[in-house]
Structure 1
Amino acid sequence: MSQLSPGTGSGSPGASVGPDFPDLPEATVARLPEYLRALSNLAEAGNDTVSSEALAAAAGVNSAKLRKDLSHLGSYGTRGVGYDVALLVGQIEHVLGLTHRRAVALVGVGNLGHALAGYAGFGSRGFRITALFDADPRLVGKTINGLMVRHIEHLADVAVQEAIAIGVIATPASAAQPVADVLVRAGITSILNFAPCVLSVPDGVDVRKVDLAIELQILSFHEHRKASLTGVALTGVAQNGVAPVEGVGG
């Protein structure tokens, strides 16, 4: 089983899983889409080359980390010139398997699933949602963004017909594991899970988990920490006999 979350995983730099395919550290894989987004924006703006510093700033990482990541792809740039934008886009798209659009099945078309089904940004990133599924008879048969919602019992047949590569779960937590089982039985080995639970899947099935509540809780921690540090600073000011700034602490 492979349960992947941002910043975790394995992979030995320099190892190879095939003739021209590097086995990248998972942290590097997680950053490649950010580099690709930044490079695409640079290309649209008419830039042919970019320095490592400029690309790192656009992607939100430090330049040393970026250069190390790109070295795994065999791309080192040219001193005094930087990286060829179009060439680097091609290299990253090749490694990420984006040279052709991947078909995606979305299971669960409630509020979140409905929003995902209508998101136009997937197409420009190399994906196309080709099938929508649900078990709710009130939703089955409805059309969302040009696609009719089918009953999940038809998933296996549709997965073969549409050559679906990735399954997205946007169901309540209680339904997520049964849905994952259906996806696995249909031969889908890559799953993006929005349900707030951990899935049990066989070896060889990769799962990425997106839990918005967890991300908010992490931000809450940072807010709590900043408030605590501010309180400590204000306490220190008061103990030193310095008047607080007007409107603060009074």
Structure 2
Amino acid sequence: MTAPPDPAQGPAEGATATRRAIPEASVARLAVYLRMLRELAEQGAETVSSEELAVATGVNPAKLRKDLSYIGSYGTRGVGYEIAPLRHQLEEALGQNHAQSVALVGVGNLGHALAGYGGFAGTGFPVTALFDIDPDLVGIRINGIVVEHVREIPRVCAERKVTIGIIATPGPAAQGVCDQLVSAGVRSILNFAPVVLQVPDEVEVRKVDLAVELQILAFHVARRHLEANASTEANTGAGVNGHTVNGTGGLLQ
């Protein structure tokens, strides 16, 4: 009778790991782990422990190990994870083991900055198409890519096999642009416009609302301020040996 595999050793060589549905929160963390593994590989590292990877990515080791178990990776007891195989598993799980092609619609201030960002290509998401309606922008080159008119979305997206669309237009134009991208076969959209897009069920939309993110940060600033004030008031009211200090420096019995 064959002994069952040791979970700490990971799946047997040549075996296909049984994949469970990966929670969305774990998917976001897997992307962070992959980025760190790429950085470690560039530094020449070959292995990394769960503790080291957890510290580098800001999570606790138990959560990291659970996240990686969703892709069938358990590491090796006493060694940790081999970086190259784990990186390959993460790229496969996150759909980065095949070519992606990104189209950006709206090259105003935000869009122009996104179009000029070289980090997309370095992580497997090259921007291959740019679109706008402004005659002063259509025809210019950004990072070597000619800005096309939005009416060219169907043709250009088909020719360049665009898989992901980024919308950085003003709000009123976003839904129409989204409809054009969907009609062109784009099924994944990153939306920077301040609107909620209506899409078919098979289209995935991720919304990035910078104003909301700032409001969330402002909430945390205000909460820390209130906590600091409450702590100060509590300390001010405390006296010596349980007595309360009065305004003249004496003790109130």
Q: Please, what TM-score do these two structures have when normalized by structure 2?
A: 0.85
What is residue 118 of structure 2 aligned with on the other side?
120
- 1:237–1:23 CA distance, 2 compared to 1 (3 A): closer
Q: What is aligned with 2:99?
A: 101
3-state DSSP class of the match of 1:102?
coil
- 1:217 maps to what in 2? 215
Paired position in structure 2 for 1:136: 134
Deviations 1:215-240 (A, max 9, x none): 11111000000000111111112222
What CA distance in whole angstroms lies between the structure 2 residues aligned with 1:168 and 1:62? 32
Q: Which runs of 5+ in 1 are unaligned?
A: 1-18, 244-250
The partner residue of 1:23 within 13, 21, 24 is 21
Partner residue of 1:174?
A: 172
Q: Deviations over 1:19-74 (max 9, x none)?
A: 97653211111111100011111112221111111111111111111101111111
**Residue in structure 2 matched with residue 6 of structure 1 by the alignment:** none
Q: Distance in 1 between matches of 2:43 and 2:191?
A: 34
Q: CA deviation at 1:100?
A: 3.0
Structure having the higher Rg: 2
How far apart, in 2, do the equivalents of 1:185 and 1:146 lie?
Answer: 26
Alpha carbons 2:192, 2:208 under 8 Å: kept: yes
Q: Where does structure 2 lack aligned partners over 5 or more consecutive residues?
A: 1-16, 240-244, 247-253
Moved segments of 4+, more than 4 Å: 19-22
- Percent identity between the aligned chains? 59
Match of 1:38 among 36, 39, 47: 36
One-letter identity of the residue aligned with 1:170: A
Seen in structure 2, the aligned counterparts of structure 1 residues 232 and 86 have a Cα distance that, compared at 3 Å, is same
What is the aligned length? Answer: 226
| Alignment CA distance shift 1:65-1:213 (3 Å) | same
Q: Is the 8 A contact 2:131 2:150 kept in 1?
A: yes
SS state of the match for residue 132, structure 1?
Answer: strand
Contact in 1 for aligned 2:18/2:72 (Cα 8 Å): no
Residue 101 of structure 1 contacts residue 128 of structure 1 at CA under 8 Å; is this kept in 2?
no
Conserved in 2, the CA contact under 8 Å of 1:107 and 1:170?
Answer: yes
Q: Any conservation in 2 of the 1:169–1:194 contact (CA below 8 Å)? A: yes
User: Which segment is superposed worse, 95-104 or 54-63?
Assistant: 95-104
Which of 26, 49, 52 pairs up with 2:50?
52
SS in structure 2 at match of 1:80: coil
Picking from 148, 153, 156, the partner of 1:155 is: 153
Cα distance change, pair 20–189 in 1 and its aligned pair in 2 (3 A): farther
Q: Does the CA-based 8 Å contact 2:100-2:126 persist in structure 1?
A: yes
Distance in 1 (CA, whole Å) between partners of 2:20 and 2:164 is 22
Query: Secondary structure at the residue paired with 1:164?
Result: coil
Highest relative contact order (Cα 8 Å, sep 6+), 1 or 2?
1
SS of alignment partner, residue 131 of structure 2: strand
Counterpart of 1:234, as a letter, is T
- Contact (CA 8 Å) 2:102, 2:165: kept in 1 or not? yes
User: For residue 109 of structure 2, what is the aligned residue in structure 1?
Assistant: 111
